[in-house]
Structure 1
Amino acid sequence: MTTTTEAVPTRAAAAEPKRAGRKSLKRFLPQYLAIAPFYILFLIFGLFPIAFSIYLSFTDWDGMGDMTFVGFAQYQYLLSDTRFWNAVGNTFIIWFLSTIPMLFLALVIAFLLHSNIRFKGFYRVAYFIPNVTSMVAMAIVFGSVFSDSFGLVNSALTALNLSEVQWLSSDWGIKITIAVMVIWRFTGYNAIIYLAGLQAIPTELYDAAKVDGAPTWRIFTSITVPMLRPVILFTVITSTVGGLSLFTEPQVLLGNDGGPNEAGMTIVLYQYNQAFTQFDFGYGSAIAWALFIIAAVFAIINWRLVRERDSMKIKPGPGGEAAK
């Protein structure tokens, strides 16, 4: 009898959380229904394609017939594919030619916009406009500006008695042209990010430097750059991911073949050709995941740099105080 009496309240107590959960579900059901469309769309158009692409990378499929499971054969071929490694090399060269000048110009522009100049609002909007302009339209414009035959750049070089450059038919000319397009598009975007970081720096530091008679360049290198280091690393990461994902500029400017000698063939453009021109969806998925691994490696490297820098900022001394 004692055992039965004790078991009844125990079952009742166990049922209480279930009742509370059902009441909570009914209470917040309208809120759950309100946010459900986002998660449904994300599941259909986000999570499912990602999972399906993983499976596709282990198959041989042209999009119409039966899928043939081939294991790691796509990745084995990827390692020996000279066209893929040529695309990797092109991507990194364009990234190097565009990222370093772009971030330097963005930092200088942000520093100037942060100073006391007139029409700062106008300049902020003007520098950000290229980022929201249609890249397809601007690629066509750049194709005319850098044209080998009648481009404005070659016309200016001829007027200066300089030899013309085959911008769209030579290997380095193609890479430089694409890099200039990337610089033009994203310099203002990164400048706005740097400007937000500059506004978070205490003005007392600049005031003290000016009182000590420090010149503008000294203030820029000794105060602005060190204080903006986390922001700079963030822009390096985002610019790296964006540079590795370069597609629109070379595709519109040069076509699907990447120009002469495939000098403008990037990783994403090569993936597009394999998946949607050659209809080799298995190999295209393998290229996509190889790109993901490369981008992840760069993100991890930058993350470790930030962590090591942060761990060096404050170290407890022997007396328990922070070491300076």
Structure 2
Amino acid sequence: MATAPTAPVIETPGPAVTGAGAIRPKPRSILGYWRLYLAISPFYLLFLCFGLIPVGFSLYLSFHRWDGLGHMEYAGLSQYRYLLGDAQFWHSISNTLIIWAIATLPMLFIALVAAVMLNSAVRFKSVYRFAYFLPNVTSVVAIAIIFGSIFSTNFGLVNAVLQGLGLDQIAWLNTPWGIKVAIASLMTWQWTGYNAIIFLAGLQTIPGELYEAARVDGAGPVQTFFRVTVPLMRPVILFTLVVSTVTGLQSFSEPQVLLQTTSNTSTFAGGPDNAGQTMVLYFFQQTFDNNDFGYGAAIAWGIFLIVGIFSIINWRLVQRREK
């Protein structure tokens, strides 16, 4: 008697085994990822050779006296003790802070206003952005030479305008405050467009409904700017303030090129009475003009500490205002 064929039995997978009895994949050794490490190694090798090792050597060098060729002589903390009592170093700090204040605060305000205007422009936005960003990608040496002509005492454009208004000429590159104003003007012209592009990127993240609500409430353009735009742009303002602080306190090329023909003592001293001698310019003078590499390294670490302190102060002030 024939029997009916039986249906095949289909086994369904059971629940995954977890816990102590689970079978875990064997972890790969670190050598198993050698291809990935090889792919990212160029950055770390370059950073090690041109970043970390020079920084470590500069710290080591700051505790020694060395002229760049002879034998290193251990000096301990004497370089730093001399740095704290170096009147010229403190004078360079004062010059740097004054130039930074004259340049940075107006620059950020002008950049923010320019970004608002760019954001509201309808036609030729790309052309305006290119025109604003062009000074930042132009050679600093070329810019400094042009500004040297603009602030020239006898044939400068600024003095020509003053004469046209019936005012006396000013020896911009031969007076302490004139030097600072000239350097600050150069830095403002160079970095305004860069910060304006960053502000523009931040403005484009603000919803348009907020501006419409402000207009419905009767707020004018000025009230909208200070009551809506500025509060919502605080994170971006913090970023630009910190970046401007770091770059402004490390200004070197601007006074070096602008004042190299007006210095009394050295090509890198910073103009008459060292009125334009910034911290980095003083570091360059001591290291490469006087061949005192140990003291130059100590100056470099002093500059690093000052820049870090002012960056933290700026960050804390903006954060406190947000609260």
CA distance, structure 1, for counterparts of residue 314 and residue 163 of structure 2: 44
Change in Cα spacing, 1:193 to 1:61, as seen in structure 2 (3 Å) is: same
1:176-216 deviations in whole A, cap 9, x for unaligned?
00000000000011111111111111211101111222110
2:209 maps to what in 1? 204
1:101 maps to what in 2? 106
Structure 1: gaps (5+ residues) = 1-15, 313-324
Q: CA deviation at 1:308?
A: 4.2
Aligned residue identity for 1:223: V
Residues 1:30 and 2:35 aligned together? yes
1:151 maps to what in 2? 156
1:283 maps to what in 2? 295
Residues 1:303 and 2:315 aligned together? yes
Most deviating of 265-274 and 141-150:
141-150
Structure 2: gaps (5+ residues) = 1-23, 261-267
* Residue of 138, 162, 171 corresponding to 1:166: 171
1:70 maps to what in 2? 75
More helix by share: 1
CA distance, structure 2, for counterparts of residue 54 and residue 75 of structure 1: 12
8 Å Cα contact 2:64-2:294 kept in structure 1: yes
1:249-268 deviations in whole A, cap 9, x for unaligned?
00011121201000110000
Q: CA deviation at 1:234?
A: 1.4
1:12 maps to what in 2? none
2:94 maps to what in 1? 89
Q: Secondary structure at the match of 2:179?
A: helix
1:125 maps to what in 2? 130
1:189 maps to what in 2? 194
* Number of equivalenced pairs: 293
Aligned residue identity for 2:247: G
CA distance, structure 2, for counterparts of residue 65 and residue 116 of structure 1: 62
1:130-169 deviations in whole A, cap 9, x for unaligned?
0000010111111111111211211222222210010110
Q: CA deviation at 1:307?
A: 4.7
Change in Cα spacing, 1:309 to 1:180, as seen in structure 2 (3 Å) is: closer
* Residue of 242, 251, 261 corresponding to 2:256: 251
1:274-317 deviations in whole A, cap 9, x for unaligned?
1111111111111111111111112222333355456x4xxxxx
| TM-score (ref. length: structure 1) | 0.87
Residues 1:260 and 2:272 aligned together? yes
Aligned residue identity for 2:283: Q
CA distance, structure 1, for counterparts of residue 106 and residue 122 of structure 2: 24
- Percent same amino acid among aligned pairs? 57
Q: CA deviation at 1:105?
A: 0.2
RMSD over aligned Cα atoms: 1.6
8 Å Cα contact 2:242-2:315 kept in structure 1: no
* Residue of 50, 56, 64 corresponding to 1:59: 64
